[in-house]
């Protein structure tokens, strides 16, 4: 049974017709299921394919639109500005069918939303249906997905940019302006639940990630904040350069953690996230919390225990292993290396 939401096998004849190899289809499957996608997923792809199949267009036109649907967001990196261009390039890599040139133009039209042909206009309309034709419940689901995809952006900046875009689209899509205005009103007043997971992360290890993954199931997003601990080695890993955090918000902060938390509270409800390995960690954390409560009486904190297989891992132990033999600590850190 397929683990994918979309049944690519149903289109095996289509892919063969347009010279997309099994390896090319595997690239499609992998891309549409990347873990940083929350809106631009197979659900979005399925919506577009369903619209195409139910249309009264000719089979030749449907084929062009099917290729466009499969490849228009095949590259989706929310930190980049050239997704459509790279998606078009991937299409050209996996097939040299003569229809490719026209499909490439339609893919590029999804960036500007200024279609150059009637067929492209139809695809752009379907691609933007979430904005132009959705009810408020659907818009809320869309907003939650986009928020998660852009969680690497500080929420104050995200909120500002999102409201500006929605204001523009309210004028562009007047038939759905009321629902879009309701979404804007929601964003103006919404305060997401944000966890702040601080540490020196010198180095980041798999136990840290275990805590982070648990926290991300609790909060709308989690900020990974690297402070400078005077009691720890000055040779720190720069968390902003770690590939594992590419799609998450990472920041470095000087001074007191309580001051940093207070600065983050203008648009969000902030909770401090602390990881625990054992009872000794709890004793230490409770002692530290007493000091923080003296400085910030309204501080909120959650303690999360790591899974048993990570209880023995610490950054200091990894550093000591590395001093004994280069590479001994790699098994305890993400991607088998200390840094990106």
Label residue 39 exposed, middle or buried (CB < 10 Å: 0-12, 13-18, 19+): buried
Q: How far apart are CA 239 and CA 237, in angstroms?
A: 6
Backbone angles phi, psi at 227, to 5 degrees: -100, 165
What was the pLDDT predicted at 232? 56
Q: In what order do the strands lie in the sheet with 301-305?
A: 250-253, 221-227, 193-199, 269-276, 301-305
- Which residues are CB-contacts of 46 (< 8 A; sequence separation ≥ 6)? 5, 6
Q: What's the token pair of residue 223?
A: 């900020």
Label residue 267 exposed, middle or buried (CB < 10 Å: 0-12, 13-18, 19+): middle
User: Of 11, 91, 87, which is closest to residue 52 (Cα–Cα)?
Assistant: 11
**In which residue ranges of the chain is pLDDT below 70?**
1-4, 229-236, 336-340
What was the pLDDT predicted at 307? 98
Whole-prediction pTM: 0.92
User: Nearest 5 degrees, angle CA 57-CA 41-CA 84?
Assistant: 70
What was the pLDDT predicted at 231? 62
Q: What's the token pair of residue 84?
A: 């459509």
Q: How far apart are CA 264 and CA 154, in angstroms?
A: 9
What was the pLDDT predicted at 234? 53
CB 88 within 8 A of CB 94: no
CB 94 within 8 A of CB 21: yes
Task: State the angle between helix axes of 136-149 and 177-189 in degrees (0 to 180), rounded to the nearest 10.
Answer: 50
What was the pLDDT predicted at 229? 65
How far lies 261's CA from each of 254, 300, 335, in Å? 12, 10, 30
CB 211 within 8 A of CB 306: yes
pLDDT per residue as tens digits for the range 283-295:
999 999 999 999 9
What 3-state class would DSSP assign to 276? Answer: strand
Distance of CA 26 to the CA centre of its chain: 21
pLDDT per residue as tens digits for the range 101-130:
999 999 999 999 999 999 999 999 999 999
User: Of 113, 157, 117, which is closest to residue 131 (Cα–Cα)?
Assistant: 113
Strand 221-227 versus strand 250-253 pairing type: parallel
């Amino acid at each position: 049974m397929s683990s994918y939401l979309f049944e690519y096998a149903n289109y095996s004849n289509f892919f063969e017709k347009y010279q997309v190899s099994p390896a090319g289809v595997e690239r499609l499957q992998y891309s549409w299921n990347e873990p940083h996608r929350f809106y631009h997923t197979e659900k979005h792809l399925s919506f577009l394919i369903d619209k195409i199949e139910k249309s009264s267009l000719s089979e030749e036109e449907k084929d062009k639109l099917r290729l466009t649907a499969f490849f228009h967001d095949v590259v989706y990196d929310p930190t980049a500005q050239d997704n459509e261009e790279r998606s078009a390039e991937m299409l050209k890599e996996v097939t040299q069918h003569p229809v490719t040139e026209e499909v490439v133009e339609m893919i590029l039209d999804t960036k500007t939303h200024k279609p150059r042909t009637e067929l492209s206009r139809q695809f752009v309309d379907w691609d933007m249906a979430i904005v132009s034709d959705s009810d408020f419940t659907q818009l809320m689901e869309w907003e939650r997905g986009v928020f998660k995809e852009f969680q690497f952006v500080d929420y104050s900046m995200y909120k500002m940019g999102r409201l500006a875009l929605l204001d523009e689209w309210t004028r562009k899509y007047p038939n759905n302006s009321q629902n879009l205005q309701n979404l804007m009103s929601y964003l103006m007043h919404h305060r997401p639940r944000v966890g702040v997971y601080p540490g020196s992360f010198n180095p980041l290890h798999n136990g840290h990630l275990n805590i982070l993954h648990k926290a991300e199931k609790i909060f709308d997003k989690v900020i990974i904040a690297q402070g400078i601990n005077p009691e720890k080695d000055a040779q720190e890993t720069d968390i902003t350069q770690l590939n594992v955090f590419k799609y998450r918000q990472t920041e470095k902060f000087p001074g007191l953690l309580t001051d940093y938390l207070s600065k983050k509270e203008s648009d969000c409800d902030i909770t401090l996230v602390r990881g625990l390995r054992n009872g000794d960690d709890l004793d230490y954390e409770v002692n530290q919390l007493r000091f923080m409560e003296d400085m910030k009486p309204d501080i909120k904190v959650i303690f999360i225990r790591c899974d048993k297989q990570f209880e023995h891992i610490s950054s200091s132990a990894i550093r000591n292993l590395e001093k004994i033999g280069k590479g001994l600590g790699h098994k305890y850190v993400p991607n088998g290396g200390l840094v990106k």
